[in-house]
Structure 1
Amino acid sequence: MSSQLALVKRDTVDVVADKVRKFQERGEIHFPANYSPENAMKSAWLLLQSVQTKDNKPVLEACTRDSIANALLDMVVQGLNPAKKQGYFIPYGKNLTFQRSYFGTMAVTKRVTGAEDIDAQIIYEGDEFEFEVIRGRKKITKHKTAFSNIDDNKIAGAYCTIYWADGREYTEIMTIKEIRQAWKKSRQNPDKEGSTHNEFPGEMAKRTVINRACKAYMNTSDDGSLVMTHFNRQDEAIAEAEMEAEIAANANGEIIDITPPVSEKVEQGQSQASPEEPKEMRFDDFSDDIPPVGQAGNGPDSW
């Protein structure tokens, strides 16, 4: 290992590992029996050495050590491992972020809520589909399809249900219009010919409704645990990193107001930040003052 990599590892991986050990010692975090934070960190470190920015620069050189450490901490606290495709490290300018895959979102949801299973299904044109609303919660009462209805060009919508062993259920339903509206926020340009969204609309629709269901249910919880703090922090961290990257890219150009109006923010489901909120999250912010399990957290709403 080069001296530069060794220095980055000392200032990020080793520091995060030490913080995680302290969280465990104080009983602020408990990992599943089959999860090893040490192994997850090793997998992440090996992966990070091959991740590059869009300018083909290694992220371990181009990104700040604070952002690298925060990304690693977000991954470990949520009990995720990139080797299992539960998340990805994505750079935005000088900021590295950890973004959960929908596999990762399901894993965290099961861990935090004790859910037994999470299932998503596509609704095709011609399907017999019915649901009812009981005390504000949707419940699928009928979904009958036919083999001839299965056609990615005739998707009418999708739904996802979270199941518990005691018989409880939580369901989210999305129309294809809502799904496509969500796709428009993707950085992958879903309207482009040959994009994953166009090539596999059924699977992408399932992924979208799974993320919606898991995030919606998780955010109804008043759980102020360390896991929920990092679960909710992801969207804010990504938004801030994107904003900083865009500002940096246009630093030498004409200054324009890229802040969407309040109505647009509400329409997109984004929370409005208080003027007193800090615009930059430093790794030091995740120190010994994080509330223990059971106390109210300060993670922002997401999705």
Structure 2
Amino acid sequence: MGKIAELAKSQQNDIEKPRVTIADVLKKQWPKIEAVMPHHMNSERMFQLALSTVNHEPKLAECDIATLLSCVMKCSALGLEPSAVDGLGRAYILPFRNHGRMEATFILGYKGMIALARRSGEIEDISARAVYEGDEFEYEFGLNEKLRHVPGNGEHTPDKLTYVYMVCHFKDGGHYIDVMTKAEVEAVRKRSKANDKGPWATDYEAMARKTVVRRAFPYLPVSIEAQSAAVSDETTGGFTADLSRVIPPSPSVPEYEVPESENEAQEPSPGRKAACKTCGNVIDNVTEDAELSDIKFQCCDNPDYEWVV
């Protein structure tokens, strides 16, 4: 057979080869995602929001499909709709390159973190605010804690931010406050995967407020669900081992190949686990080729990770 005939046959085989879109992959895996969804969520609405998220951020189509499905599953499990579509700041799904591979990453938003904290039923009120140059601000820790903030009329831009703080009142009458300087917020931002894009670029104040709330989570009466969400922030969601992997797309074909049979589908490696010796938080699904220094998640003030055997 001549080269031209072979090429024509190869192209015909490519045309006849079954392909599915991201929507088809979502439909196939949706029962697993729907199974972890709380009763108050609308399954059809969540499905459409997942598709809209990919349309809003086209590079998600280049990500390992298992990581994309995992992030959608994480949003569903937490009862938080992805905010890239409506901009409400509950949760985000963004693409990042990890050791040469594109992965979808779950990022918890400020409003999502506040919503999770309030679900515990033990919190009367929780909020976080930003302090800017020109504001009157003073605080004191100790036996007689105090915090006073009088907003001024200065510019509310990231370069003018000086502090962020959070205040949580418990239903039993107690309270908890925490304050972070701009330098501390910047240290967290620089360790973040999304340090120069995503919500850090578009909603800096909200992310700064989320940062101080997240640091306070270990000291608040929040649910295990909320603690888990804080730990899985800026990861692939933690569900990749529970989802069937399909072959990633070719750069020239924005579609996903599917195995000819279910038996040929390969289960993803669950990855390794790392535990923080300081606070005990566990980071799941660390890639096999990663070093401890590659872990950018800040679980506490002084994270010190070791591999969990």
TM-score by length of 1: 0.59
What's the CA shift for 1:80?
0.3
Q: Return closer, same or farther for 1:113/1:7 CA change in 2, 3 Å cut-off.
A: same
Are positions 1:270 and 2:303 aligned together?
A: yes
Q: Is the 8 A contact 1:37 1:76 kept in 2?
A: no
Give the 3-state SS of the residue equivalent to 2:306 in structure 1. coil
TM-score by length of 2: 0.58
Letter in 1 for 2:233: Q
* Count of residues in Structure 1 that have an aligned counterpart in Structure 2: 236
Give the 3-state SS of the residue equivalent to 2:20 in structure 1. helix
Long gaps (5+) in structure 2: 1-17, 239-270, 272-283
Cα distance in 2 between the residues matched to 1:53 and 1:124: 35
Q: 2:33 aligns with which of 1, 7, 16?
A: 16
Q: How does 1:284-303 map to 2 (within 5 A)?
A: none
Q: 1:88 aligns with which of 88, 92, 95?
A: 92
Give the 3-state SS of the residue equivalent to 2:36 in structure 1. helix
Q: CA RMSD in A?
A: 4.3
Q: Return closer, same or farther for 1:175/1:39 CA change in 2, 3 Å cut-off.
A: same
Q: Return closer, same or farther for 1:120/1:243 CA change in 2, 3 Å cut-off.
A: same
The superposition leaves residues 263-296 of structure 1 with CA deviations (integer Å, 9 ceiling, x where unpaired) of xx999743413241xxxxxxxxxxxxxxxxxxxx
Letter in 2 for 1:64: I
Q: Is the 8 A contact 1:163 1:170 kept in 2?
A: yes
Letter in 2 for 1:13: W
Query: Which residue in the other structure is 2:114 paired with?
Result: 106
Letter in 2 for 1:38: S
Cα distance in 2 between the residues matched to 1:71 and 1:128: 41
Letter in 2 for 1:272: Y
Query: Which residue in the other structure is 1:143 paired with?
Result: 149
Q: Is the 8 A contact 1:40 1:81 kept in 2?
A: no
Cα distance in 1 between the residues matched to 2:118 and 2:151: 28
Q: Return closer, same or farther for 1:112/1:271 CA change in 2, 3 Å cut-off.
A: farther
Q: Which of the pair is proportionally richer in helix?
A: 1
What's the CA shift for 1:81?
0.8
Cα distance in 1 between the residues matched to 2:24 and 2:122: 39
Give the 3-state SS of the residue equivalent to 1:219 in structure 2. helix
- Identity level (%): 18
Are positions 1:46 and 2:51 aligned together?
A: yes
Cα distance in 2 between the residues matched to 1:261 and 1:44: 31
Q: Which of the pair is proportionally richer in strand?
A: 2
Give the 3-state SS of the residue equivalent to 1:273 in structure 2. strand
Long gaps (5+) in structure 1: 22-29, 248-256, 277-303
The superposition leaves residues 157-213 of structure 1 with CA deviations (integer Å, 9 ceiling, x where unpaired) of 2222234466543222111222222232344555x9xx9868x8xx624531x2233
Cα distance in 2 between the residues matched to 1:36 and 1:101: 18
Q: Return closer, same or farther for 1:39/1:53 CA change in 2, 3 Å cut-off.
A: closer
Are positions 1:63 and 2:71 aligned together?
A: no
Q: Is the 8 A contact 2:130 2:163 kept in 1?
A: yes
Q: Return closer, same or farther for 1:116/1:236 CA change in 2, 3 Å cut-off.
A: same
Cα distance in 1 between the residues matched to 2:222 and 2:189: 29
What's the CA shift for 1:235?
3.9
Letter in 2 for 1:214: V
The superposition leaves residues 106-144 of structure 1 with CA deviations (integer Å, 9 ceiling, x where unpaired) of 221222355444433333445443323246x9541x333
Cα distance in 1 between the residues matched to 2:299 and 2:223: 25
Give the 3-state SS of the residue equivalent to 1:80 in structure 2. coil
Give the 3-state SS of the residue equivalent to 1:234 in structure 2. coil
Q: 2:188 aligns with which of 171, 178, 182?
A: 182
Give the 3-state SS of the residue equivalent to 2:80 in structure 1. coil
Are positions 1:216 and 2:215 aligned together?
A: yes
Q: Is the 8 A contact 2:134 2:151 kept in 1?
A: yes
Cα distance in 2 between the residues matched to 1:58 and 1:228: 29
Are positions 1:173 and 2:190 aligned together?
A: no
Query: Which residue in the other structure is 1:252 paired with?
Result: none
What's the CA shift for 1:75?
0.6
Q: Is the 8 A contact 1:53 1:91 kept in 2?
A: no
Q: Is the 8 A contact 1:179 1:205 kept in 2?
A: no
Cα distance in 2 between the residues matched to 1:261 and 1:189: 15
